[in-house]
Chains A and B, each alone.
Chain A
Amino acid sequence: MKLYYFSEMPHHEYPDEEGLKYPSLRLEFPNRFFDREKPTRSASTAS
């Protein structure tokens, strides 16, 4: 049996209590909680 590695590349970088203020974390959770610096540090070769 062959194994495959998978990550959804989650961005759980916000206070959980903020997420609970919205009906869903999808579509309506405001993107102001997106932290531009963290993905850059994780993935960019320029960082």
Chain B
Amino acid sequence: MINEHHSTPSCVDVGVNMTAAVLARTTRRAKILLLGNILPIEDNPVRMAEQIAMADLISGGRVLSGFVRGVGIETWWSNSNPIHNRERFEECHDLILKCWTEPGPFRWEGQHYHFRHVNPWCLPLQRPHPPIWIPGTASPETALWAGRRGYTYVPFLVPFEIARELFEFYRQGAAEAGRTVTDDNLGFLICAVTADTKEKALEAGRHFVWRMGPTLRGPVDFFAPVGMRSRAGAQFALKARPRSLSTMSYEELLDGHFIVAGTPDEVVDRFARVRRELGVGHLLLEAQESRMDHPTTMRSIELMGAKVIPAMAGV
């Protein structure tokens, strides 16, 4: 999985499609999950549709195309109006989907986007289009919207009970559209690292605290500019984060499953619990952070591949 942020040392992947293109040529079998392109700050959805399509072609149809609204930081960075965030997200999504699924040329005259000639000569290999994934942290509207469309929905770093509530909104949206929800529709994101000993893993896991604390420090308006969230979204956000992650100790972050750090056997147990608690079919692992060094990172990847993934196959 790859993502994109701007104007921050917490993430210097500043172009998710660029990274996808690199991975498309340097990997052979893995799915490439973009989670994702920040739609509301995009001024040219047609070019975005072309770039994702190109990554899908180069990868041989391995792209999972996630779309996000972004955090407030990206709204400031792009000088876009936070009040239009959701409208632009939905219109940008609609135009990208039309680029991928309807023959050109056509004209697009929307509320936020205007194009006289839409006729992309680069279309995704996957038909009708790459699978679409949507992340969530606190917005009931996003969960409902994703459920209505049958997209894979992935809460990020929230307590289990909040994830279950967001999944209920998702199921409500799916029911409205007559869709059946399977575990393939649901994912969850946590931080995770494994090592040969519990002591080494717990030491490595401390690197995730930087991501939970210092990188989220700042004025509230940086992360949630006035008007970006609806009233319902703002109310749910308060409920979802009664305590910010930055106020939690390392031990509390471990207890809450925001961070998993242990031997392969311990990690398998924790992942299995996530599966039991939430019934998700996809577990996204933020698996390197802060100053976690290369040998520690590579050993964790090695153990995940050799021991954790085979054990999880039956879970």
Name the contact of B8 in the complex, choosing from A4, A6, A25 (C-beta under 8 A). A25
Q: Which DSSP category, helix, strand, loop or mixed, fits chain A's interface? A: loop
Question: Which chain B residues border A33 with CB–CB below 8 Å?
Answer: 9
Q: How far is the CA of A9 from the CA of B288 in the complex (A)?
A: 8
- In the assembled complex, the Cα of A39 lies from the Cα of B280 at a distance in Å of 34
Which one of B7, B12, B215, B312 lies within 8 Å of A9 (CB-CB)? Answer: B12
Q: Is B219 an interface residue (CB 8 A)?
A: yes
Q: Report the interface size class on chain B.
A: 35 or more
Q: Once bound together, how far apart are the Cα atoms of A34 and B9, in whole Å?
A: 8
* Chain B residues with CB below 8 A from A4, complex form: 1, 31, 33, 282-285
| Beta-carbon nearest neighbor of B8 in chain A | A26
Given contacts A8-B211, A25-B10, A26-B7, contact A2 B283 (CB under 8 A): yes
Q: Which residue of A lies closest to B301 (CB)?
A: A5
A46, CB-defined interface residue at 8 Å: no
In the assembled complex, the CB of A9 is this many whole angstroms from the nearest CB of chain B, namely 4
Q: Do A3 and B285 have beta carbons less than 8 Å apart? A: yes
Q: Scan A1-34; emit 1 where CB is below 8 A from any B CB, else 0.
A: 1111111111111101001000111110100011
Contact with A along B7-34 (1 / 0, CB 8 A): 1111111000000000000000001010
Select one of B7, B183, B290 contacting A12, CB under 8 A. B290
Contact of B13 among A8, A13, A27 (CB under 8 A): A8
Which of A2, A4, A6, A12 is packed against the most chain B CB atoms within 10 Å?
A: A4
In the complex, what distance in Å separates the CA atom of A1 from the CA atom of B275? 7
Given the complex of chains A and B, what is the CA–CA distance between A23 and B214 in angstroms?
10
Closest chain-A Cβ to B243's Cβ sits at a distance in Å of 19
Closest to B272 in A: A1
List, in ascending order, chain A residues with CB within 8 A of B11's CB. 8-10
Cα separation A8 to B290 with both chains bound (whole Å)? 9
Q: How large is the interface on A (under 10, 10 to 19, 20 to 34, 35 or more residues)?
A: 20 to 34
Measured between alpha carbons, how far is A7 from B289 in the docked complex, in Å? 7
- Within 8 Å by CB of B283, from A3, A9, A23, lies A3
Other-chain residue from A1, A5, A14 in contact with B9 (beta carbon distance below 8 A):
A14
Hey, which chain A residues are within 8 Å of B31, CB to CB? 4
On chain A, the residues within 8 Å of B108 by CB distance are: none
- Which residues of chain B from 208 to 266 have a CB within 8 Å of any chain A CB? 210-211, 214-215, 217-219, 222
Contacts of B312 in A (CB 8 A): 1, 3
**Residues A9 and B13 in contact, CB atoms below 8 Å apart:** yes
Which chain B residues (157-196) contact chain A, with CB distance < 8 Å? Answer: 183, 189
A10-B281 contact in complex given A5-B1, A23-B218, A27-B76, C-beta closer than 8 Å: no
Specify which chain B residues have a CB less than 8 angstroms from the CB of A29 in the assembled complex: 8-9
B3 to A6, Cβ gap below 8 A? yes
A1-B275, A25-B218 given; A6·B2 CB < 8 A? yes
In the bound complex, how far is the Cα of B149 from the Cα of A33, in angstroms?
43
12 A-B pairs within 8 Å (CB atoms) are namely: A5-B285, A5-B287, A6-B285, A7-B288, A8-B3, A8-B5, A8-B289, A10-B9, A25-B214, A26-B10, A26-B215, A26-B218
Apart from A23-B218, A34-B9, 18 more pairs, CB < 8 Å: A3-B271, A3-B285, A4-B31, A6-B284, A7-B286, A8-B3, A8-B11, A8-B13, A8-B286, A10-B210, A10-B211, A25-B8, A25-B214, A25-B217, A26-B8, A26-B218, A26-B222, A27-B73
